[in-house]
Structures are given as structure tokens and as C-alpha cells.
């Protein structure tokens, strides 16, 4: 009898297989579980901004509890310093609070009734993921300081006397071995700071020489998010105990709802946002005594809703989506709480402001007319889309989607994977083929356009259903009914870096801004950056994204290295593409500045060739005279 092949070392599962990691090792090994994605600072949800938020959240909680009226934030290069004027960490627990998981005051609901950070993880994650971390607590004339490197205590100072006001100061430098080539962008930080101020009227935040303050809460938020020229009626602003709501409408398609829990911006929504959407529809129907379609009531809505609850339950440590929760431990459900508030306060407001009520009614009836006009063509277009999905390969899908339910097992990992889901929108078979071969099939999908899309500026949504490319694209993204159904967390426009590629990029941007602006406002749309040059010799290859990087690479490699100029995405091999679309891919966020009027922007850039645009082009022409050679 032949001897079986020795498999002793294959898939052994013994005592030696079991590993125990201490708190900092686990955070550094699995940072995504604690702060979401890493990134390099090019996106507002990148890890370095989450680190700032985790420290700031503690300051805001102190303010919410009635301690301190200001918070100071300073960022110099890569060094972050945050100072509040709250009670200060109890001096004997300074080290424990920032270095022992499941240690903190927020497990005592009496001390922090309605705070954000309930898991005792925030500052520990910041500590573990920072090259340098320093915390100082000041209480009643005494201070205590501790210093760490990558979560390891390197110096614990003795208590000392001080004349400083009570509070806590944290300084940290994110670890560059974790966050590659990162850079803080002030505009992302300022948006984060404004949200804190809108949700905590009267709080002053000082950031790098600027002071941020909101006196009117969510009313100020909506005024910042909209433009006076584009809203259909003055902003409705209603408040109650533990709830605040602001509402208006514009002429855009879709819904634009900003939701918050205990000061946390829940970018993925949750039970409170859904409760608001349902309660708003019911209240409007009851007020006008007409069974309007829900989509007609909410189309064009711009709203913000903030609630405060005891012990909120979020779906992950990054707290971007609220789970099922009661407002108080033994209180009403979120649906009942929001529903009762809206049926009482919004109904009262509309009765007291008939002019606003009439303007709201006209906006709803406009949506109703447009929906009925589209009904026939939508049915035919949807049938075409279903048939096309069966017989073509325009969409190479991925395995994880935001609209799938997370399995009971490994739910945290599944949620993390969903946040990584990306769809690349590209043009041409060669480009889509390269990306398809190089992509991560679990989280990355590819949609292939056929030629240049239509310039849809000034057209109605009817064109989305009449144009096959647009119709199939909206079905691939699942955005026909708005942002709620979006199947991918990142939508990346991937076009060539030549004139035609730039034109296609602008046409796609116009499509999203014209018909799905909430996709852009909620920072879901990006533009892929791929290298323009490859510089290499036999020992090393360097990819360069602009001329200056190319010159530096040539100087570094010396001896006439081989230089390749990529003319299109199809020229980049799948093996190379795999590097450029990995987790740390370079991509630019498509952003609209706060208060910008989208229709004015589109008219300027995509409308008829106006004198203003001609003047802009002429004044920005660059004449490369330094490259002109004199005749011999």
C-alpha cells in the first residue's frame, strides 16, 4: 500500500495557530475596522480626518455637557493639536484613557448622556496610528502629561502645578508607515468644523487663525449648502427637545438630506434619516389632504435633521450609519419620535406660513407633472435596460454591494468591504478591458461607455431614459430613485488624459450634476488619476503624474532611462493598472463649492459659447515661447 503524501505542515490548526494581539497591534493590523479606509487625505473620509474627528468628538461632548465654550484646532504640516476647555481627563487616568481599550467615562450614561463615542476606542485608535501622540489633562491647577510613539508609552510626566484653564490638549502626528504620502486639505477640515458648529449653536472653534461660529444651527447649515437664487421658498427651521430640522426645495432632481446623531454626520443615513423621510411625506399628505406620490413630495428636497439619543447604536466604529435605537433607553422608537415631532411642528409651521405652504405645493405639483410625462417612456426604457443587461457586457459587476444585507457572520468585515465598492466608468474596449483584468473582483466593477456621451445640459430628465448609454448607466448605479439605492460607494470616472478623454470627463460630470447632483454633493464621484509617464531602467521603474515628476525621475535614474508617454488607458497593461487602482489609488474628488449654483456653473462651462467663457479661455492661454527655436 502506497504511503500517503505527508501533509503535516499544510493547514495545521494547533495551539501555535492562536495569536493574541495587544490593543495597539490589533488596531495597526486592522485599521479599517476602527477608522474606515486609510487614503492620503485626498478624500474627506480618509483616515487622517477620522483621527482629527475622534479627538474633536471628545471636545464636543464636553461642550454638550456644558463645559467649555471654545475648542482650538491647529494643524502645522502633519502635526495636529486639539485643545478644549472642558473638565479635563481625571489626572490619575490620563494614560489609561488613551491606551486601554474599553476604558472611558462614556460607559456611564450619567456622565455623558448623549455623546458620540461610546465604544472607548477613539483616542486609542489615534494613539496607535500616530507616530507621536501626546496628551495633557488640566484640572484645578494641576496638569498631567503622557507621551507615546505608535501607541507605546515613552514618557509619563509627573503631576505639576499650572495656571492654565481646565481642559484637555492632544497633539499627534499620523504615522506615515500607515498613511502613505498624506496631506491635510484645509477645505475638508473646515467643512468638518462647520458641521460641529451648525450642530452646536454658540460653540466657537478656532482653526489656524480662523474662528467658526453658528448662531442658528441647521438653518445656517442649509444656507451654506444652498444658494438663495435656487431655493423655491425660505428655509423651514423647526426645533424640539433632542431634535432639529431644516427643510427647503430647489429645482434639482433627487433628494439631498444631511443627517446627524449626537453631532455625528451619518453620511450613510440610518433609522433617523428614514424616519424623517417617511414622516415628512405623511405630514405633507395630511396637511394638503391629498395622497401625493412620495417621490413627488421629496424630489428637489434639501434638508438637514439632527437628533440626540441615549446610547446610539451605529453599524460600525466609524459611525456613519445609525442602527435600530430608541431615543431614550425606555423611550419611543426613532420612527415614533420623529413622526410625532414632524406631524406637530411642521404642520403648525405650514399653517402659520401659508405663502411657504403654497410654494411647497407648487413644487410638488411640478414634480407630479414631470413624473407623469415620463411614465410611459420610463417603462419602455426600463424594459430595454433589463433586456440589455441580459445580452451585453457593459457592466462587469463586483461581489459586494451597498444594497445587499450583511451576513450574520463577519458583519464588520462585510460592511468594511461595502465601503470599498467602486465602479469605474470608462470609454472604449481597450481601456475597459485593462481595468477589468486588473480590478479586484470583490469590490471593483467596470462600466464601459460607447463613444462620447451626449451633452445633456439644459435637457430634461426625459433624455436619461431616451439615451441608451445614460439609461444603462443609471440602472448600473441604481440611482433612478435617488442616492438611497446607490450600489457602489465610489463612482470613478476613468478616461484618457488627452483632449477627447477630458471632454468625455466633462460630459459625464454634466450628467451627474444635471440629473443626480446629490451624488456629487455627498462626495461619491471621483476622477481617476493615472500616470502620464513611465520612467525606468533595468533596476527601477517610476510612474509619473506630471512633467515635474518625470524630470525628477529621469534625474534620479540617470544614464538615459527609457521614458514612455501613456496616450490612453488602453496602453497601460493590466499588471500596471492593478497598482493604480489599488486601495491607495490616486483620484480627485468631484466637488462643488458650498453655495455654488449648479445651473450657473453648467451654463458657464457646458452651455453656449458665451463671451465670459471666451474671455476666460483667452486670458488663460499659455504661450510656450521658451520652447520656440530661432531660425539658423
**Phi/psi of residue 187, each to 5°?**
-65, -35
Task: Give the separation between CA 14 and CA 17, rounded to whole angstroms.
Answer: 5
> Of residues 408 and 388, which shows the higher confidence score?
388
Using 50, 70 and 90 to split pLDDT, how confident is the model at 450? confident
136-195 pLDDT tens trace: 999 999 999 999 999 899 999 999 999 999 999 999 999 998 888 899 999 899 989 999
Q: Which residue has the higher pLDDT, 617 or 99?
A: 99
Higher pLDDT among residues 519 and 227, named by residue: 519
One CATH from 3.40.50.720, 3.40.50.970, 3.30.230.10, 3.30.465.10 for 218-368: 3.30.230.10
Cell numbers that stand for 392 in this block: 451585453
Please tell me which residue, 423 or 121, carries the higher pLDDT value. 423
Question: Where does the pLDDT of residue 283 fall: very low under 50, low under 70, confident under 90, or very high at 90 and above?
Answer: very high
- The pLDDT > 70 percentage for the chain reads 82
Ranking 89-93, 318-322, 493-497, 522-526 by mean pLDDT, the lowest is 318-322
Query: How do residues 306-318 score in pLDDT, each as one tens digit?
Result: 998 877 776 665 5
Give me Rg for the CA atoms of the chain: 27
- Among residues 531, 509, 507, 512, which one has the least CA distance to residue 579? 531
Cα 225 to Cα 521: distance, rounded to the nearest angstrom? 9
Which is nearest to 44 in space by CA: 255, 198, 150, 185? 185
> Does the pLDDT value for residue 476 go beyond 70?
yes
Q: Are 604 and 610 in contact (CB under 8 A)?
A: yes
389 pLDDT exceeds 80?
A: no
Reported as a single tens digit per residue, the pLDDT across 423-432 is: 999 987 777 8
Query: 145 — phi, psi (to 5°)?
Result: -125, 140
What is the tens place of the pLDDT at every residue in 212-226? 999 999 999 999 888
DSSP, res 346? I
Contact assessment for residue 311 and residue 334, using Cβ atoms and an 8 Å cutoff? no
Confidence of residue 628 (pLDDT cuts 50, 70, 90): very low
Residue 579 and residue 459: Cα distance in Å, rounded? 39
Higher pLDDT, 605 or 536: 536
Rounded-to-integer distance, Cα 584 and Cα 299, Å: 36
Please enumerate in sequence order all residues whose Cβ is within 8 A of that of 52, keeping only pairs 6 or more positions apart, or say none.
Answer: 73, 75, 80, 82, 189, 192
Q: Is 186 helix (H, G, I), strand (E, B) or coil?
A: helix
What does the alpha-carbon distance between residue 247 and residue 239 come to, in Å, rounded to a whole number?
12
pLDDT at 630: 37
Helix (H, G, I), strand (E, B) or coil at 224: helix
- Highest mean predicted confidence (pLDDT) among 42-46, 92-96, 210-214, 481-485: 210-214
Return the number of other C-beta atoms located less than 10 Å from residue 390's C-beta. Answer: 6
Q: List the grid coordinates of 382.
A: 426600463
Alpha helices in 228-292 (DSSP H): 271-288
377's grid cell: 417612456
Sequence ranges of the chain with CATH classification 3.30.565.10? 23-212
Determine the CATH number of domain 23-212.
Answer: 3.30.565.10
**Residues 200, 480: Cα–Cα separation, whole Å:** 35
Main-chain dihedrals φ then ψ at residue 571, nearest 5 degrees: -80, -15
pLDDT of residue 568: 75
C-beta separation of 597 from 252 below 8 A: no
* 573-616 pLDDT, tens digit each: 888 888 888 766 778 888 766 555 666 677 767 777 667 777 77
Looking at 3.30.930.10, 3.30.465.10, 3.40.50.670, 2.10.10.100, the CATH number of the domain 392-530+569-618 comes to 3.40.50.670
In whole angstroms, what is the distance from residue 542 CA to residue 549 CA?
A: 9
Cell numbers of 186, please?
A: 484645509
| pLDDT for position 625 | 41
The overall average pLDDT reported for the chain is 82
Banded pLDDT at 415 (limits 50, 70, 90): low
Cβ 490 vs Cβ 422: under 8 Å: yes
* Digit-coded pLDDT (tens) for 332-368: 788 888 999 999 999 999 999 999 999 999 999 999 9
CATH 3.40.50.670 maps onto the chain at 392-530+569-618
From the list 247, 326, 324, the residue with the least C-alpha distance to 287 is 247
Distance CA 270, CA 287 (A): 26
* pLDDT above 70 for 80: yes
Q: How far apart are CA 129 and CA 123, in angstroms?
A: 10
> Which residues, listed in sequence order, are joined to residue 137 by a DSSP beta bridge?
144, 168
Which residue shows C-alpha cell 515635474? 548
Report the side by side order of strands in the sheet with 236-240: 236-240, 243-249, 301-307, 256-261, 264-265
d(CA 116, CA 475): 36
Burial 537-572 (b: 16+ CB within 10 A, else e): eeeebbbbeeeebbeebbeebeeebeeeebebbbeb
User: Of 244, 233, 52, 184, nearest to 130 (Cα)?
Assistant: 52
In which band, very low, low, confident or very high, does the pLDDT at 529 lie, cut at 50, 70 and 90? confident
Q: How far is CA 367 from the centre of its chain?
A: 29
Under 8 Å between Cβ of 260 and 242: no
- pLDDT for the residue 317: 55
Contact between 345 and 276 under an 8 Å Cβ cutoff? The reply is no
Is residue 98 within 8 A of residue 135, CB to CB? The reply is yes
Could you tell me the CA-to-CA distances from 238 to 289, 344, 347, 482 in Å, in that order? 22, 10, 11, 25
Confidence at residue 265, expressed as pLDDT on a 0 to 100 scale:
84
What is the model's pLDDT at position 492?
93
Amino acid at each position: 500500500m502506497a504511503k500517503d503524501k505527508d501533509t503535516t505542515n499544510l493547514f495545521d490548526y494547533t495551539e501555535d495557530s492562536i495569536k493574541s494581539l495587544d490593543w495597539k497591534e490589533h488596531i495597526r493590523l486592522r485599521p479599517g475596522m476602527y477608522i474606515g479606509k486609510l487614503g492620503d487625505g485626498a478624500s474627506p473620509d480618509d483616515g487622517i480626518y477620522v483621527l482629527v474627528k475622534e479627538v474633536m468628538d471628545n471636545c464636543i461632548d464636553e461642550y454638550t455637557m456644558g463645559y467649555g465654550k471654545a475648542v482650538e484646532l491647529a494643524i502645522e504640516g502633519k502635526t495636529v493639536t486639539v485643545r478644549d476647555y472642558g473638565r479635563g481627563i481625571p489626572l490619575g487616568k490620563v494614560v489609561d484613557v488613551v491606551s486601554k481599550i474599553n476604558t472611558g467615562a462614556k460607559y456611564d450614561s450619567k456622565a455623558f448622556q448623549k455623546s458620540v463615542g461610546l465604544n472607548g476606542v477613539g483616542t486609542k485608535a489615534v494613539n496607535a496610528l500616530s507616530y507621536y501622540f501626546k496628551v495633557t489633562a488640566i484640572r484645578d491647577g494641576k496638569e498631567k502629561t503622557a507621551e507615546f510613539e505608535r501607541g507605546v508609552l515613552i514618557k509619563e510626566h509627573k503631576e505639576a502645578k499650572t495656571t492654565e484653564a481646565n481642559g484637555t490638549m492632544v497633539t499627534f502626528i499620523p504615522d506615515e508607515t500607515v498613511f502613505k504620502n498624506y496631506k491635510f486639505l484645509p477645505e475638508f477640515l473646515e467643512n468638518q468644523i462647520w458641521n460641529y458648529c451648525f450642530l452646536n449653536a454658540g460653540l466657537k472653534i478656532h482653526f489656524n487663525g480662523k474662528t467658526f461660529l453658528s448662531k442658528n444651527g441647521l438653518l445656517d447649515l442649509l444656507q451654506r449648502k444652498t444658494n438663495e437664487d435656487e431655493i423655491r421658498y425660505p428655509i423651514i427651521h423647526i426645533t424640539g427637545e433632542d431634535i432639529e430640522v431644516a427643510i427647503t426645495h430647489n429645482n434639482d432632481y433627487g433628494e439631498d438630506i444631511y443627517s446627524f446623531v449626537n453631532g455625528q454626520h451619518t453620511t450613510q443615513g440610518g433609522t433617523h434619516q428614514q424616519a424623517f423621510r417617511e414622516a415628512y411625506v405623511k405630514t405633507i399628505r395630511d396637511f394638503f389632504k391629498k395622497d401625493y406620490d412620495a417621490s413627488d413630495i421629496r424630489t428637489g428636497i434639501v434638508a438637514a435633521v439632527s437628533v440626540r439619543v441615549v446610547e446610539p447604536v451605529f453599524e460600525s466604529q466609524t459611525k456613519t450609519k445609525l442602527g435600530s435605537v430608541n431615543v431614550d433607553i425606555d423611550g419611543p422608537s426613532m420612527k415614533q419620535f420623529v413622526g410625532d415631532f414632524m406631524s406637530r411642528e411642521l404642520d403648525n409651521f405650514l399653517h402659520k406660513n401659508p405663502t411657504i405652504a403654497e410654494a411647497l405645493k407648487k413644487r410638488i405639483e411640478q414634480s407630479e407633472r414631470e413624473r407623469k410625462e415620463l411614465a410611459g417612456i420610463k417603462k419602455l426604457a426600463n424594459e430595454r435596460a433589463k433586456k440589455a443587461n441580459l445580452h451585453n457586457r457593459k457592466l462587469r459587476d463586483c461581489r459586494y454591494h451597498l444594497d445587499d444585507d450583511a451576513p450574520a457572520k463577519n458583519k464588520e468585515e462585510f460592511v468594511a468591504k461595502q465601503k470599498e465598492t467602486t465602479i469605474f466608468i470608462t470609454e472604449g474596449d481597450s481601456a475597459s478591458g485593462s481595468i477589468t483584468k486588473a480590478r479586484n473582483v470583490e469590490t471593483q466593477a467596470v462600466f464601459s461607455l460607447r463613444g462620447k456621451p451626449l451633452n445633456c445640459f439644459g435637457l430634461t430628465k426625459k433624455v436619461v431614459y431616451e439615451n441608451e448609454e445614460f439609461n444603462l448607466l443609471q440602472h448600473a448605479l441604481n440611482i433612478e430613485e435617488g442616492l438611497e439605492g446607490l450600489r457602489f460607494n465610489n463612482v470613478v470616472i476613468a478616461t484618457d488624459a488627452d483632449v477627447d478623454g477630458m471632454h468625455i470627463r466633462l460630459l459625464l460630470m454634466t450628467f451627474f450634476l444635471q440629473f443626480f447632483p446629490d451624488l456629487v454633493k455627498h462626495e461619491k464621484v471621483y476622477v481617476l488619476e493615472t500616470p502620464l509617464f513611465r520612467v525606468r531602467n533595468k533596476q527601477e521603474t517610476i510612474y509619473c503624474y506630471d512633467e515635474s515628476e518625470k524630470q525628477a525621475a529621469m534625474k534620479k535614474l540617470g544614464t538615459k532611462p527609457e521614458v514612455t508617454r501613456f496616450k490612453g488607458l488602453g496602453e497601460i497593461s493590466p499588471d500596471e493598472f492593478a497598482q493604480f487602482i489599488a486601495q491607495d489609488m490616486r483620484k480627485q474628488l468631484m466637488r462643488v463649492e458650498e453655495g455654488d449654483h449648479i445651473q450657473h456653473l453648467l451654463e458657464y462651462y457646458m452651455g453656449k459659447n458665451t463671451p465670459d467663457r471666451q474671455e476666460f479661455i483667452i486670458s488663460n492661454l499659455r504661450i510656450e515661447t521658451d520652447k520656440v527655436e530661432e531660425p539658423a
